Structure 1
Amino acid sequence: MSHQLEQELLTVAREAADRAGALLRDGRPADLGVAATKTSPIDVVTEMDLAAERLITGFLAERRPDDGVLGEEGASTVGSSGVRWVVDPIDGTVNYLYGLPSWSVSIAAERDGETVVGVVTAPMRRETCHAVLGGGAYLNGERVRVRAAPPFEQALIGTGFAYLAERRAAQAEVVKALLPRVRDIRRGGSAAIDLCDVACGRLDGYYERGLNPWDLAAGELIAREAGALTGGRPGGRADGDLTVAAAPGVFEELQRRLEDLGAWHD
């Protein structure tokens, strides 16, 4: 991929994320309510999720009309350019609904199936992380790297939970077994932010079952470009069964323990 195309995709992704972030930050109504539900009654969509996705997809159609789009809230076009945008208009919708600050806009660009650009904007944290494949990871324009690996028992690990009761029960059992083996476990509520926190050295590792492409595409690239190892089950890629991202030296042990605990199934 040419440098010119890389920079064009990055510029488009950053502007789309900035515009959506401003809409979500400044346009959130005081009486914000649930517009729809997805996997369960507690897996919600707000009117602002829908508005932000419309803004992003409209902007992408204007700037890159031949590209495909995959959006969490239903946007799906094939395109003819070989580029596909993977969009999560609000990653952390429940946080957003409750007025908690840990939510983000996540936009990734894939070329021929490989993620080449990732942008995650967290407006309430005043932070934007971005990465271009092979070009490193950045937070507000400054290069970031993963934290040097501590002994596993001193690792701070992030995770997230699904909204299906059966899966949540299985995830609780994994946490119960893992928690005594590490420094602590954090649950922030936005997978994209968690992956960026691994990139910035705020977490030593992160894992979650049940992520969708829009949850992880941008954040995984940012984590990898910051020096993290990422994957799913041993030998596999990060996917809906399991996503793991961690500093080298933590990743291997975390992945092994998650495999032993059956974290990849309910």
Structure 2
Amino acid sequence: MKPEDFLELTLKAARAGAAVLAARASFSPATGRIETDSKSAAGDWVTEFDRNAEQAVREILHATRPHDEISGEEYETTTVENPSGYRWSIDPLDGTVNFVRGIPFFGCSVAVFGPSDHAPDGAWLAGAVVAPALNVEYFATRGGGAWMRPTQDDDAAPVRLHGPDKTSDARILATGLGYDAARRAYQVAALAEMLPGFANIRRLGSAALDLCLVAEGKIDAYAEFGTQEFDWAAGALIAEESGTPVRRPASGDGTRWPDWMVAGQVNVPKSPRRTPDPQSILDDPIKHKAEAGNASGVVVVRDALPDDYLEIRRITHDAYISGGYFGSAEEPYMQRVGNVSDRHEDALMWVAERDGQVVGSVTIARAGEKWADIAREDELEFRLLAVDPNVQRSGAGSALVERIVAYAKTFPDVNRVSLTTGADWLPAHALYERLGFTRVPERDWFVPGTDIKLIVYVYEIAEH
């Protein structure tokens, strides 16, 4: 099918969701109150309007194309018999906080992904964002341009969008912030890096409409870390079809691994590094029996996320200070390792999680990389392995080391795993020796700028 074949249905579905929202458009906090539920954190609200709008969109799509998959923010992806290969992505109410508080910057977003004559492997084909309180709708098809139209006048002709004025000397950047404190800290630090070249910023509360405003030329660029597919599916296509350069998250839907969504000319920081092949290494949790207390359960080793940074920093500091190596987190070396976002930009980082709580972390590097201290050319080094001192015998240390060894074996040019550890951290020594590591005293290493000696262990990989 051609992208334009989907436009009428895309608009019809987005308008149906917007019609549900329009019942709220005339309310204000002084005259009406909406009941909310929290999803992930305070302020991450969902309302019956979200759910009802998504149901309205799904009914339109399913009635016309019953063999298409449908994914949305509020409900699971549909499973269909004889799938067509096309999938719809719905954000029934992008800007829920604005909606609840009577701020008119919200809308319903619908987009479709699938094969076409010019993209046999699939692409975003059509998208629409309808903002009922603003009385405007935006839409685009791949190769067909981006358009806007007032919704109050049925006879109004669509206006083609051409993106921002590239000659502007007072550029505006739009962005958004997450609900988690660690995620916000990362985003604010990243924003400071992006601000040069912009006269000001806007935080309007709807990624879909931010992208549409870039397409319209009212905003010069948009960049946000950690949005999910339904946030940007339609808006990114609309911005792209306006002639604006667009970078979608490399991680696809943004659920498995957060990344940057960018439209316009803006330099964003590097995304944190992740395991090249997480499917083969990290997907299966490691089960460890409890050795003490109530520490039973499953230890999951996964890629670290920006949301984990504050907890990683706390665990690293607590482990080093409780071990007696440093008096406080103000020591220069502790300041360096405590800059977790900087560490994660240049090295692979994993966490161990038990019962939803991060209880340990580790940093992994190859020889010559910024965070490698002792690694030789054919070695994978791990360092800063820290387990929360408040959570004893959790299995986190064993789980992390076992995963590291398994990961090292996926590299044909890696023959050893090396590490440094505290000279008197006897439980750690016992763990490494139990898992097959050998002490190599001639390679012992001193923490730079200190007289602290760390001892070296090495694991020989017999076969790959």
Q: Provide the TM-score with structure 2 as the length reference.
A: 0.51
- 1:131: how far off? 0.4
> Measured at CA, do residues 179 and 75 of structure 1 come closer, stay the same or move farther in structure 2, by a change above 3 Å?
same
> Measured at CA, do residues 261 and 75 of structure 1 come closer, stay the same or move farther in structure 2, by a change above 3 Å?
closer
- Equivalent position to 1:17, from 14, 21, 24: 14
The amino acid that maps onto 1:14 is L
1:134 aligns with 2:143: yes
Residues 105 and 206 of structure 2 are in contact (CA less than 8 Å); yes or no, is this contact kept in structure 1?
yes
Structure 1 alignment gaps of length 5 or more? none
Residues 70 and 77 of structure 1 are in contact (CA less than 8 Å); yes or no, is this contact kept in structure 2?
yes
Q: Deviations over 1:24-60 (max 9, x none)?
A: 11257722111x3222132111111011111111121
- 1:92: how far off? 0.5
Flag the structure with larger Rg: 2
Q: Deviations over 1:171-227 (max 9, x none)?
A: 122234444541100001000000001100011100001111100110100000000
> Measured at CA, do residues 109 and 172 of structure 1 come closer, stay the same or move farther in structure 2, by a change above 3 Å?
same
CA distance in 2, matches of 1:164, 1:114: 31
What residue in structure 1 maps to residue 163 of structure 2?
146
More divergent stretch after superposition (201-210 vs 9-18): 9-18
1:32 aligns with 2:48: no
Structure 2 alignment gaps of length 5 or more? 116-121, 150-157, 275-304, 307-464
More divergent stretch after superposition (185-194 vs 38-47): 38-47
CA distance in 1, matches of 2:203, 2:114: 32
Pairs within 5 Å for 1:206-217: 206-217=222-233
Helix, strand or coil at the partner of 2:133: helix
> Measured at CA, do residues 158 and 238 of structure 1 come closer, stay the same or move farther in structure 2, by a change above 3 Å?
farther
What residue in structure 1 maps to residue 104 of structure 2?
101
More divergent stretch after superposition (89-98 vs 108-117): 108-117
Residues 230 and 238 of structure 1 are in contact (CA less than 8 Å); yes or no, is this contact kept in structure 2?
no
Helix, strand or coil at the partner of 2:12: helix
The alignment's C-alpha RMSD in Å is 2.4
The amino acid that maps onto 2:148 is L
What residue in structure 2 maps to residue 92 of structure 1?
95
Q: Deviations over 1:61-105 (max 9, x none)?
A: 111111110000023114411111100000001111111100010
More divergent stretch after superposition (203-212 vs 23-32): 23-32
CA distance in 2, matches of 1:166, 1:84: 33
Helix, strand or coil at the partner of 2:124: strand
- 1:261: how far off? 9.4
1:241 aligns with 2:251: no
CA distance in 2, matches of 1:85, 1:203: 27
The amino acid that maps onto 1:192 is A
Q: Provide the TM-score with structure 1 as the length reference.
A: 0.86
CA distance in 1, matches of 2:125, 2:271: 32
* Structure with bigger RCO (C-alpha 8 Å, 6+ apart): 1
Residues 231 and 237 of structure 1 are in contact (CA less than 8 Å); yes or no, is this contact kept in structure 2?
no
1:173 aligns with 2:189: yes
Larger helix proportion, structure 1 or 2?
A: 1
Q: Deviations over 1:130-155 (max 9, x none)?
A: 0000010001111110123136x632
CA distance in 1, matches of 2:251, 2:246: 9
What residue in structure 2 maps to residue 199 of structure 1?
215
1:117 aligns with 2:104: no
What residue in structure 2 maps to residue 46 of structure 1?
47
Helix, strand or coil at the partner of 1:105: strand
More divergent stretch after superposition (82-91 vs 70-79): 70-79
CA distance in 2, matches of 1:183, 1:237: 31
- 1:7: how far off? 3.8
CA distance in 1, matches of 2:33, 2:165: 44
- 1:260: how far off? 6.0
What residue in structure 1 maps to residue 153 of structure 2?
none
Residues 231 and 238 of structure 1 are in contact (CA less than 8 Å); yes or no, is this contact kept in structure 2?
no
- 1:162: how far off? 0.7
Q: Deviations over 1:10-31 (max 9, x none)?
A: 1111111112112111257722
The amino acid that maps onto 1:17 is A
> Measured at CA, do residues 171 and 64 of structure 1 come closer, stay the same or move farther in structure 2, by a change above 3 Å?
same
CA distance in 1, matches of 2:215, 2:130: 14
CA distance in 1, matches of 2:54, 2:86: 18
Helix, strand or coil at the partner of 1:115: strand
Q: What is the aligned length? A: 251
Residues 110 and 127 of structure 2 are in contact (CA less than 8 Å); yes or no, is this contact kept in structure 1?
yes
The amino acid that maps onto 2:129 is V
